Structure 1
Amino acid sequence: MPVVNRIADYSEEMKTWRRHLHQIPELGLDTVKTAAYVAEMLETFGVDEIHSGIAQNGIVAIINGQGEGPTIGLRADMDALPITEVRDLEYKSTVPGKMHACGHDGHTTMLLGAAKYLAETRNFKGRVALLFQPAEEIIGGAQIMVEEGVMERFDIAEVYALHNSPGLPVGHFLTTPGALMAAVDTFTINIKGRGGHGAMPHETRDPVMAACGMAQAIQTIVSRNHHATEDLVISVTQIHTGTVDNVIPETAYVNGTIRTFNPEVQKMVMARFEEIVKGCAVAYGVEAELDYEVGYPATINDAGKAGFATEVAREIAGAANVEGEADREMGAEDFSYMLQARPGAYLFIGQGDTAGLHHPEYDFNDEVAPIGASFFARLVEKAQPLA
């Protein structure tokens, strides 16, 4: 694996950084300790500028190259998940109910590794903007950073990010030009009926049957209202109602997720949800309120930047280990907001045969960090080479 030699030299340091971050997981925008540690490391590396307090606890660090040139943005997410870690690691999470179950500790470490190398060598022109972002898992920290003007403030011309991928062999890369990950929306339906005795259903307006009817009708949007060649996923993931076997409850709650790529499909889904909820409410004699929340947009790579990033990945991993025209997937990612603001690309990097993302046994594979750091470093050097 042709990892940059200098980055390979501090692989053990990177492991230390990553395992420290793993022990102090923080959620959402509240990444205070994580951001403080990142800033401390960046200061020791000798970066030129550290701007904190962006999106509450986000950081933008600037490294100047040699001579005039554009600014390239590299992003890593810092937040963790509200999951209890089950593996008894010596660097296990010290925060009950929180853990780095998605590898953001590793993403942050990869960008720190690239930062150390780039600040030391400066074998590029222009500038690098290192974007350490909170709240990828919820809220959308990338959107907040974009709305706070990071692209304009730091004159960022293009932007890139990596995400680890369990099941993909270590050191392999995967991406595609155009749409890579789906837009994600959330729906919640609150149903109010009239409760009563389970032996006398004729005296009630049963919200349980209404919830079941709505859940079934919602699935017909996928099977009967959209073209089969357009990717669409609708999953009812929660139905909450009732407390005991002989009581028909007063209320029910239905919740789930929608994944789309095409904005026209998204509009159709929203319209059908309104029609189905209203129609089922009338049919079952209940009241129903729909809350349809539009979430992260689709993650769409710039075709040219994705092609360039694929070339860099092949230089690091070898052509046989890089898939540059992979199938798109239905997961979602708030880096999509940065790609709406600037051209760039998002890539997956192999994590190996490990527990899956968001699993209580997940742990970032430290072998991956030098590979990801090398990718970031070579990306900058090839995008903005010295004459």
Structure 2
Amino acid sequence: MSKTLFKNLELIRKDLHKNFAELSTQEFRTCQKIFDYLIENTDAKISKVGGTGIIATFEGKKKGKTIMLRADIDALPITETNDFEHKSTDPKVSHKCGHDGHTTILLAVAELLTEKPINKGKIVLLWQPAEENGTGAKAVMADKVFKKLNINQVFALHNLPGIPLNKIVYKSGAFTANVRSLIIELNGRTAHAAEPEHGENPALAISEILQFCEKLTEKDVKKDKFFLITPIYSEFGTKDYGISAGSGELHLTIRSWDPKWFDKRVEILQNYLDLIAEKYSLKIKTSWTQEFFSNQNDKNAVKIIKKSAENLNLNHQKLENPFKWGEDFGLFTQKISGAMFGIGSGVDCPALHNPDYDFPDEITETAATLFYKILENAI
């Protein structure tokens, strides 16, 4: 693929950043842009999937495995503070995780597969919606279009600020955390603020729950039993100073490396909530939202990533510890053999989800070329 083509892809990436920052499940214009680009520049069979996702399929002449590569396409509800020309035109939404870049990388792979077909097996490229809220992978996997593909192996990448530009990182087992968010609703009874004893105020219950969460937490990422509870939001009562609060909410995000350990620790927390409900005469209701399964990297898939990086003489390194953030690709690796790897965005690149972050276009060619080599080695 020529340098001119990658320069054109940089313009596309910046156009995505500026004009196509759309929240999870709302990526309608992004979906159409990807569809139109693939129609014009590739010979792939194209289908819409999972609501606002796109699948491009390349059929080889010989029978073989079906290998899937995934990119994510949604943006975040973050106001951008950059002042460059391709700044997001939406004042409340911007690409602060690099999904505009991930999308562009996979467009480059689609063009590579058109220029240099892999004539064995089947290649599936997925532009997945709704990664940020943890609903996209589930929607794709439930879609009849996806079910018919019978995927044998899956790969994905994520750009990583803080790691040298174009450096490839990988590890077997957990690559990202298992993450779920818990909503705790506490219902008691209001009373006069001068006579709180005549009601059930959830304030002390919320305080004790937070203290118990701190005791349950194991923050050391080097330990297999890493378990982190982060308070996200809390509210109780109203701004009526004569009324003792009668209801409240507490929202927590919980993460671990191991889904089974996650469930064991959550069970302890839920049992404690029952005790708190009894102690303070409250009714407590819990619900879960934004679930991200841990990316469990298959060791054979990781070997393919490492071999491909070596084939291309890329700087690469095995990671010691997983990343604490959740990634919706984890649902795929829970069900299908595969792996996620990282590519460095630069030591001085602003962190993911920072308001001044921007995807570094310098890594697009490396990432696309590596993806293509992974396909050659995997098929």
TM-score by length of 1: 0.90
Select the residue among 326, 332, 349 that pairs with 2:326. Answer: 332
Structure 2: which 5+ runs fail to align? none
| Aligned partners of 2:63 and 2:121 also within 8 Å | yes
Structure 2 counterpart of 1:343 = 337
Alignment map for 1:286-325 (pairs within 5 Å): 286-293=282-289, 295-316=291-312, 318=314, 321-325=315-319
Rounded Cα–Cα distance in structure 2 between residues aligned with 1:7 and 1:77: 25
Q: What is the CA deviation profile of residues 135-163 of structure 1, one whole-angstrom value per residue up to 9, with x for unaligned ones? A: 11114211221122455422322111111
Structure 1 counterpart of 2:16 = 21
Q: What is the CA deviation profile of residues 29-70 of structure 1, one whole-angstrom value per residue up to 9, with x for unaligned ones? A: 221111111111111222231112x10121111123453332
- The percentage of aligned residue pairs carrying the same residue is 31
Is 1:62 aligned to residue 57 of structure 2? yes
Please identify, of 135-144 and 13-22, the stretch whose mean Cα deviation from structure 2 is larger: 135-144
Rounded Cα–Cα distance in structure 1 between residues aligned with 2:3 and 2:180: 41
Q: What is the CA deviation profile of residues 201-231 of structure 1, one whole-angstrom value per residue up to 9, with x for unaligned ones? A: 43442211111112112333336xxxx6412
Q: What is the CA deviation profile of residues 252-282 of structure 1, one whole-angstrom value per residue up to 9, with x for unaligned ones? A: 1111111123343223223222221121122
Structure 1 counterpart of 2:82 = 87
For the aligned residue pairs, the C-alpha RMSD in angstroms reads: 2.1
Please identify, of 358-367 and 280-289, the stretch whose mean Cα deviation from structure 2 is larger: 280-289
Q: What is the CA deviation profile of residues 227-250 of structure 1, one whole-angstrom value per residue up to 9, with x for unaligned ones? A: x64121112222112444845322
Alignment map for 1:38-77 (pairs within 5 Å): 38-52=34-48, 54-77=49-72
Select the residue among 153, 160, 163 that pairs with 1:165. Answer: 160
The residue type paired with residue 367 of structure 1 is E
The residue type paired with residue 185 of structure 1 is R
Q: What is the CA deviation profile of residues 345-374 of structure 1, one whole-angstrom value per residue up to 9, with x for unaligned ones? A: 101111112211112111111111111111
The residue type paired with residue 124 of structure 2 is A
Select the residue among 346, 351, 354 that pairs with 1:356. Answer: 351
| Aligned partners of 1:7 and 1:373 also within 8 Å | no
Rounded Cα–Cα distance in structure 2 between residues aligned with 1:132 and 1:7: 23
Structure 2 counterpart of 1:252 = 248
Structure 2 counterpart of 1:3 = none
Rounded Cα–Cα distance in structure 2 between residues aligned with 1:82 and 1:11: 29
The residue type paired with residue 153 of structure 2 is E
SS at match of 1:334: coil
User: 1:199 Cα deviation (Å)?
Assistant: 4.5
The residue type paired with residue 371 of structure 2 is F
Rounded Cα–Cα distance in structure 2 between residues aligned with 1:218 and 1:324: 32
User: 1:380 Cα deviation (Å)?
Assistant: 1.6
Select the residue among 122, 136, 143 that pairs with 2:138. Answer: 143
Rounded Cα–Cα distance in structure 2 between residues aligned with 1:368 and 1:266: 35
| Aligned partners of 1:190 and 1:290 also within 8 Å | yes
Structure 1: which 5+ runs fail to align? 1-5
| Aligned partners of 2:134 and 2:292 also within 8 Å | no
**4+ residue segments displaced more than 6 Å:** none
Rounded Cα–Cα distance in structure 1 between residues aligned with 2:132 and 2:35: 22
- Matched length: 372
Is 1:376 aligned to residue 371 of structure 2? yes
